Structure 1
């Protein structure tokens, strides 16, 4: 049988205070519940006081946390075996003077660092891009001039209120599987689908002999048509940056 062991070594701040009581015999029988208090002393980041309750033949002792804000996680305390014992002439009681030794240790809070799990970045846009590229599960096809673009109705409706009304609204035909678009270039519609699925813009370089800037202008028109506000702002920003003064 294999055996294993672990070690826990708590850390803390330790201090010893001597509280001297002069004229012990005059304080005996001071009264039930009445006490004398030491000056506040510091251990760690907290202040403490010793409370001394004189009785006929013995004393009672306690330690009070004088700091109003915050509480230590754990405290070790000892009174040199005085509390609750009958006092006899000893090293602690000489010439009617009582010496109370308080040994106090404030343990530091033991914190366990959280287990850090590295969460990978979201790849939702990559998944949707691959879904569009593969054409899996498509339920509608757009005919744009001589090209066909299969897509998913639910994705289109989620991203564009115009597509939503056209595909699922009361005025639309939700059973249509083929939609023809005659007044748009295939490259523009392809860029529109790319943004719908990935929320990012494709590279708009030269394509089919069309200048890139002209493609951007046509794409702005397409975004207006399908109420793609975010895409419209991005493309308008691109146009402004490319203006030649």
Structure 2
């Protein structure tokens, strides 16, 4: 009997169905608003191009920020030929867990009654919450701490003068922000936000499973050696490498460090964020000590976050000590911030009376020549 040859039967194979998959890009917008209230503007007017005042640091979208306001405009005024006819305002990125943070933000100016002021002379005002007011919107990405974006021509000073006449020299700069978060989802199931930093923070606080103890001043801190080693090469060498402490040691003694600084160090290691102590009376000193601790344990991101925070707190009483710290630990951007502040008219005269300046001169005499050069250059620019 002849066999059946299937290949010659003329039957066509059924086409296979295409594989189908899907995903979606979920865009989240976290909104926030911060108001910088400016009083007695006449005392700031004429301080010089490139000189600025700042808001207090604030948090939005899991990041830290501050606003810098230039009463006589920033240095881009020289390139545009407007000199001091405009004020400038910028949003400054201090730091936070996300990298490449994308933000849409807009600055507006409010009078003492909370009404938004138009950029054109004589145009009526509207309440700040009313729509359709023309404002310059910015959409940009903040890639690293210390970066700033904003408007070099925020408000024409002649228009601002009209506002000040009826506002007793006071006004408010409002920054409305929308921090953009992108999530790529391959299915419609909603995934909760990560709480890893909260879990680790609670584990540190409850001392659950701790296996190493540090003696710092008059306090003891319990931690987890593998977490410390994963976050800091210095801790890794101390706990597992050539620098390893004796196995029978009761605890590791940390010399020349404030307990509060070590506590802040552990907080960052477990949460990847700065401790929430920037409103305390000794916030500048505490942040300076934390920067030193970050440098000592090779935590570069924490160090940069401390630099950015300190740059927003520079004033007459603190600038000399912050400059000395920046010089000691090679914090270039923080050093530049201090020098720019010292270039303000009559600022150096007041700073020279502080104990911090005397310490700066005694410890880092070479910095004094840089300070004088900055002051001379600032006066020439005026």
- What TM-score does the superposition give when structure 1 sets the normalisation length? 0.51
5+ long unaligned stretches in structure 2: 1-16, 24-185, 316-340, 342-382
- How many Å separate the matches in 2 of 1:155 and 1:238? 26
Other structure's SS at 2:188 match: coil
2:288 equivalent among 217, 221, 242:
217
Distance 1:145 1:117, change over 3 A: same
Cα pair 1:167 1:174 within 8 Å, conserved: no
Note the aligned Cα RMSD (angstroms).
2.7
Which of 288, 297, 302 is matched with 1:231 structurally?
Answer: 302
Match of 2:251 among 178, 186, 192: 178
Bigger helix fraction: 2
Q: Does 1:194 align with 2:267?
A: yes
Aligned partner of residue 266 in structure 2, secondary structure: helix
1:177 is displaced (CA, Å) by: 4.5
Larger radius of gyration: 1
Cα distance in 1 for residues equivalent to 2:289 and 2:259: 11
CA distance in 2, matches of 1:177, 1:140: 9
4+ aligned runs moved over 3 Å, structure 1: 110-115
Q: Is this contact kept in 1: 2:245–2:252, CA < 8 A?
A: no
Mapped contact 1:168–1:174 kept (Cα < 8 A): no
Is there any run of 5+ residues in structure 1 with no aligned partner, and where? Answer: 1-72, 74-109
1:129 matched to which residue of 2?
Answer: 201
Please name the residue that 1:144 is paired with.
216
Distance 1:232 1:112, change over 3 A: closer
Alpha-carbon distance between aligned partners in 2 of 1:111 and 1:224, rounded to the nearest angstrom: 48
When the two structures are superposed, what TM-score results if normalisation uses the length of structure 2? 0.33
| Cα gap change, 1:158 to 1:177, in 2 (>3 Å) | farther
Q: How many residues align?
A: 137
Q: CA deviation at 1:183?
A: 1.2
Q: Do the aligned residues in 2 keep the contact of 1:165 with 1:171 (CA within 8 Å)?
A: yes
Say if 2:229 is the partner of 1:154: no
**1:53-85, Cα deviation, whole Å (9 max, x unpaired):** xxxxxxxxxxxxxxxxxxxx9xxxxxxxxxxxx
Task: State the Cα deviation string for residues 182-218 of structure 1 (Å, max 9, x = none).
Answer: 31111111100000000011122476xx711011111
Offset of residue 171 of structure 1: 3.0
